[in-house]
Structures are given as structure tokens and as C-alpha cells.
Amino acid sequence: MPTVKRGLHLAYRLLVLIGFDPRRTLHVVRGLPIYLRNLATFRRQQKASKVSFSFTKLYPCFEDRFADGGIATGHYFHQDLLVARRIYLNKPRLHVDVGSSVAGFVAHVASFRPIEVLDIRRITSKVADVKFTQCDLMGDIPKELVDYCDSLSCLHALEHFGLGRYGDPVKFDGYLAGLDNLHKILKSGGKFYFSVPIGPQRVEFDGHRVFAVKYLLDLLHEKYAIDAFSYVDDNGDLFENAALIEQNVERNFGCGFGCGIFELTKR
């Protein structure tokens, strides 16, 4: 059954990639009769109304009537909120982010303090309390970035380094170069907030890598003290301050494609 499920998921992704989304088609089939009925009702009410609104164009939204009121779950929702809250409580002098979601995490932090953002992609938007700098963290970083900040984040970004997805050069071990540079940017004693997908270790090219928790611990333990570990499971639920005991680590906390969230201090 898991093999069949993976096959169906792959088939769906391939259909979406070539421009056909079966889910959206289903929503149109379900929603069109309702849309037409509501439109006819609205036009009748318009004729009887004394208020004038020009009827310029139609804008069908077939999916919205079948969706929930909001999604308060998943990797990005939980990690962005959790880490932004930790930064607020820890009150660093200078916080720098590398590659995290601008619309999510960066916006959260910028709502209460300045933040500097490094990304391999160009960002031209001008936003209050956000300073953008284009930078390839797999290459040699400028000298002025060494020991630059006392607080650093890289959320759901390192897994992409070196896969070429975002216009970066293809480097099989690009994530290791990225980790080394992140370590250089952070001052000794500084806080590092770090998250990546967790589960059986693999590459799903050219989307992302998935890391085994044990491998991550091996990468981090010499350079950082682990202050806290939380994770989002395959159902999108957050588990804060999870125990990094052998049984949990070996089974990747039961995740196939979860999200491990570390709060670290540079040794």
C-alpha cells in the first residue's frame, strides 16, 4: 500500500508539472453548478437594488468554498512561529537570516525588530526593518560577514543548497559548505535556529534533501550545544522540546517527511 500511495503521489506531481491539476479540475466540476446558481441569484438581487455597482467581469473562485478557513499546521507555519517567538524572547543584538521564507518567518520577525536577510536570489523589495543582501553561502563569504552576528536562522533552506533549484551551482555536498559558512557568520556563544526536512535520508532531486536525525546530530555536536529540539510530524503537528533519546533518533521521530527544528548555541 505505501508503494501504491507513493506512485499516486508521483503521478499527481507529474500531472501538475505539465499544467494539469486533477484537484482543481474536481473543484471546478463540483463548484460550477453552485457558482452559476449563485450568479443568477446575485443578478436578480442586483436588479432590485437601489445601489449601483458596475458588473465588469466574472472572477470564479471554485476552490475557496470547499477549503477550510485557514491552515494552522505544517512545517512552515510551526517553524516560523516557533523561531520568531524564540528570537523575541532572546532579544539578540543583531539577527541575520539565510534563505528562510520572506512572507512567513522574515515578516514575523520584522514585525517586532530589524532583521538582515541573505539569499542567493535577488530580492528588490523595500521593506521597513528588513535589509536584503544577495549572497551565495556555498562560496567564499565576504570577510566582513565572519563573526558578524549573535543570532542566526536558516529555516527549511539548507536542504536546497547545491541542487540548482534556485539558480545555485550544482554541488553534491553544497549543504556542508553552507553549514561551514553559517558557522563562520555566527559569533561564539551566539544562537543558531536551524531546520530541515527529517526522515529516512535521501535526495528528491531537484527539490530537496531529507536528513536522518542521527546524521544531523553528528554534523552539529562538535560546533554547537543543542538547547532544544522540536519537530513537525508527517501530519503537520508540532512537538516542542522533544527528547533526543536513541530510540527517537533512530526512527527519525516516526517521520517520513517531517521537519526538525533546532535551537543551538555556538561553542
User: Which residue segment(s) compose the domain that 55 sits in?
Assistant: 2-66
Question: Do 85 and 27 sit in the same domain of this protein?
Answer: no
pLDDT reported for residue 238 = 98
Residue 184: how many CA atoms within 13 Å on its side-chain side? Answer: 16
129 in the same domain as 254: yes
Q: Reading across the β-sheet that carries 115-119, which strands appear in turn?
A: 130-134, 115-119, 95-98, 149-155, 186-198, 258-266, 224-232, 238-239
Question: Both 100 and 171 in a single domain?
Answer: yes
Closest CA to 154 of 267, 255, 266, 262: 262
CATH of the domain at 200: 3.40.50.150
Residues 140 and 20 in one domain: no
> pLDDT digit string (tens) for 174-191?
999 999 999 999 999 999
Shared-domain flag, residues 109 and 8: no
Say if residue 56 is in the same domain as residue 85: no
**DSSP H or E segment with residue 231:** strand 224-232
Compute the average pLDDT of residues 254-265.
97
Please give the pLDDT value at position 71: 77
Residues 87 and 190 in one domain: yes
At position 121, the amino acid (one-letter code) is R
Tally of domains within the chain: 2
Query: 191 with 261, same domain?
Result: yes
Nearest to 199, CA basis, from 221, 182, 216, 222? 216
Q: Give residue-wise pLDDT tens across range 6-26.
A: 777 777 778 777 888 888 888
Domain endpoint, select from 66, 83, 108: 66
180 and 98 in a common domain: yes
Q: At which of 66, 83, 111 does a domain end? A: 66
30-44: average pLDDT: 90
Judge if 132 and 12 occupy the same domain: no
Last residue of a domain, one of 66, 96, 114: 66
Are 39 and 130 in a shared domain? no
Are residue 53 and residue 86 in the same domain, yes or no? no
pTM of the model: 0.86
The rounded distance, in Å, linking the Cα atoms of 230 and 226 is 11
